[in-house]
Every structure is written in C-alpha cells, then in structure tokens.
Amino acid sequence: MTPDTKLPKVGTTIFTVMSQLAIEHGAVNLGQGFPDFDVPVRLVDALTRAMQDGKNQYSPMTGIPALRQAIAGKTERCYGHRPDADSEITVVSGASEAIFDAIHAVVHPGDEVIVLDPCYDCYEPAIDLAGGVAVHVPLDPRSFAPDWNLVRAAISPRTRLLMINSPHNPSGAMFSADDIRQLTELLRGTDILLISDEVYEHIVFDGAIHESVLRHPELRARAFVVSSFGKTYHCTGWKIGYCIAPPALSVEFRKVHQYNSFSSFTPAQWAFAEMLEAEPEHYEQLGAFYQAKRDRFREQLLTTRLKPLDVPGGYFQLVDYSAVSDLDDAAFCRWLTTEKGVAAIPLSPFYESPPAGQRLARLCFAKNEATLDAAIERLQGL
C-alpha cells in the first residue's frame, strides 16, 4: 500500500546522494559539510570522563543546568546579552531539531513563512509538515545579499515567520549592520517572528563581526536563535545544539521539543559545559583557524579552471565552473564526482527556482590539508 505522502517534493537529500556517490567512486568528499580532523582533546577527555562517571541517563528536558549556565555566560561574553539559563535556553539534538521545533511551535496551518533562497534544505519540509506555506524570496545571485524591498513585498497578513541564516549556507555571505537595521525596521510594529540560524556564528573572517540577533534587543524579543556545538567543535556526529528565545517563545518551543527528542546526549552536555568554561579560546580563535584553511584553499583553486567566489564566513567555498562545463549544476556535480573524483554539492536543491544559467557548486574546506591537496590535484586536471 502506497501512503499519501506528506512531503511530495522531498526525496533523499542531496548531501546523502553525493556522499554515497563519493563512496562508490572513491572520490574526495568536499560535498557534505563535516570536518575530517580531530575533535579538541579536552572535549574528548571530558566526554570520556562523563561516561565513566556514570552520567549516561536522561538529562533534564531543557538540558543540564551546568551547560545552560555555560551557554548563558558564553552568550554574554560574545554578544553582550546574558539570556536566562532556566527560561530562555534549551539544549536540543542538533540545530536541525531546533529549527524543526521552532517552526512547529509557532506555525499554524495556512501561515506563511518567508525563506531567503538559496536556503538550507531542512527549512521547507518542516514548514510543510506544520501546514505552513514557504514563501521564497531570492537573495542576490552573486553576492547572496538580501533585497529588503523584496522581503517587504513578500509580507502578507498571513506572514507568521521570517527565517534568516548568517553566516549563510551555502554561500558564506553575512548580514551587515545595515542589514540588521533594515530587518529591525521591517519587523517593527508587526507580529512576525524570526528564526535566526547562526550555526556558523564563530566562523567569520577578515576581522568581521557576526551580527547575531542576540546583540539587538528588538530582534531577540521576537526570535528563536539557533546554534550548533557540532559546527563549533568539529563533532557534527554528536548532534548537540541549542536554541535561545524569550521565555514565552521558549515555552512553546519546549512543548514540541519534549515530544520530539525530549532530551539530548547527556555525556556530551557535561563535556560541552566543561569546554565552554575551561577553553573559551577555542571558539574565539575559530575564525582564524578556518580563515587559514579558506585562504590556502582559495590560492590552490586559482591554479584550476574553477573561479572561487568571496567567502566572508562559514566553511564552504562556492566556485563558478562556467569555464569548465555548460552542464547544469546537478549534472556537473555528478560528473565531477564520478569522472574526476571530487564530490561537490550543487546549489539548485537550495532553491525553489534556481537562477537561469547559474553555474555554481559548493565545496567544503573543513578538511585537513591532505584531503584538500588530493582534491586540488584532481581539480587541476579539469
């Protein structure tokens, strides 16, 4: 019996498809966004100690108090605002869960949710499952900056939620102070809520400041702000993140969370609590760590026929492959993986309607030097 699907537009994610293709063809995998280098030693030791100390059972639904207090302190240190650890911070099983929970907490059937294309592929399915309607507004096809006039034009009486992402996946673009000003003015006087996906918050380059929504009182009063320990600490497989939201929004968020995952991997929570308190320099120096990788990879790409775009933040490098092929991006990435041995991600799955003639692919540089060197050697043969 074939069920009536609730997600007719959804198949296997492009990340799963390309990673499987990379395995089948022995390709260097610069597609899926996971590091292939070690987790910080202190974090691994703390996790091991937590397990050996018997901290292996359910944690409180909102997260262990020690971690929520550490998150509050880190938030104040980074953004000048200390959220209440009890009423405003919720630990979850990864940022994707946080996004799902936030959407389901506030979106009712028929509500509209504005998303900025290209956007991460977990946004729209969560909106669909909540009975909402995703309204897609395109970012600039080269700079990936928002046009706030287009966003304003997309607002209707049914608009419930706006979703933003900075630093941006897949482009690495970042909101400026002027973007924040225009966003604040746009939402002022409305009941529109905000989800701010900030999983790459500490991976910013060239002396830039991450304009977290948490820095801005008007915005944080209406926002769910989503962060990822996996991205910050190179441990994407641990699946721990958190959401900061005002008390009233957190109440609704937790109603969904408690019937979704209820609680998250307990030993890792103890490990992150220790890491945040004992080694804040890790997240403070993360931008410099990844900037060195970005700069080295960019210099290497300049020896190929691929044209690297600017990367203000995050750990993805977009490349223009127009000089190599006229294939569409999905076909090009498949060809690159199967014939040339380097896995990349096409941009079209991040769009409702991809720009005509766009020839861009996403490469991940959150890899060790040997991995990137092997990829460049193959890319030089294009």
User: Tokens in use for 238?
Assistant: 């641990």
My answer on whether 129 and 66 are in the same domain is yes
Helix axes 329-340, 14-25, angle to 10 degrees: 20
Q: Residue 371 is part of which domain span?
A: 14-39+284-379
My answer on whether 52 and 123 are in the same domain is yes
CA proximity to 172, closest of 8, 378, 362: 362
Domain final position from 245, 278, 311: 278
Alpha carbons 134 and 380: distance in angstroms, whole number: 40
My answer on whether 262 and 373 are in the same domain is no
Alpha carbons 192 and 349: distance in angstroms, whole number: 27
Domain final position from 278, 300, 323: 278
- Which DSSP category does 60 fall into? P
Alpha carbons 306 and 5: distance in angstroms, whole number: 40
CA 234 to each of CA 13, 117, 151, 369: distance values in angstroms, whole numbers, following the listed order: 22, 26, 34, 15
Q: One digit per residue, pLDDT tens: the chain, 382 residues? A: 667 899 988 888 888 888 898 899 999 999 988 899 999 999 999 999 999 999 999 999 999 999 999 999 999 999 999 999 999 999 999 999 999 999 999 999 999 999 999 999 999 999 999 999 999 999 999 999 999 999 999 999 999 999 999 999 999 999 999 999 999 999 999 999 999 999 999 999 999 999 999 999 999 999 999 999 999 999 999 999 999 999 999 999 999 999 999 999 999 999 999 999 999 999 999 999 999 999 999 999 999 999 999 999 999 999 999 999 999 999 999 999 999 999 999 999 999 999 999 999 999 999 999 999 999 999 999 9
User: Tokens in use for 136?
Assistant: 């897609």
Token pair 């746009």 is at which residue?
Answer: 186
Specify the CATH number for the domain of residue 120: 3.40.640.10
Alpha carbons 307 and 305: distance in angstroms, whole number: 6
Phi and psi for 118 in degrees, rounded to 5?
-80, 140
Reported pTM: 0.97
My answer on whether 78 and 29 are in the same domain is no
Is residue 6 one of the residues assigned to a domain? no
Phi and psi for 234 in degrees, rounded to 5?
65, 30
My answer on whether 231 and 270 are in the same domain is yes
Cis peptide bond prior to 118, omega within 30° of 0: yes
State whether residue 317 is helix, strand or coil.
Answer: strand
pLDDT value for 2: 65
User: Tokens in use for 316?
Assistant: 């993805």
- Which DSSP category does 255 fall into? H
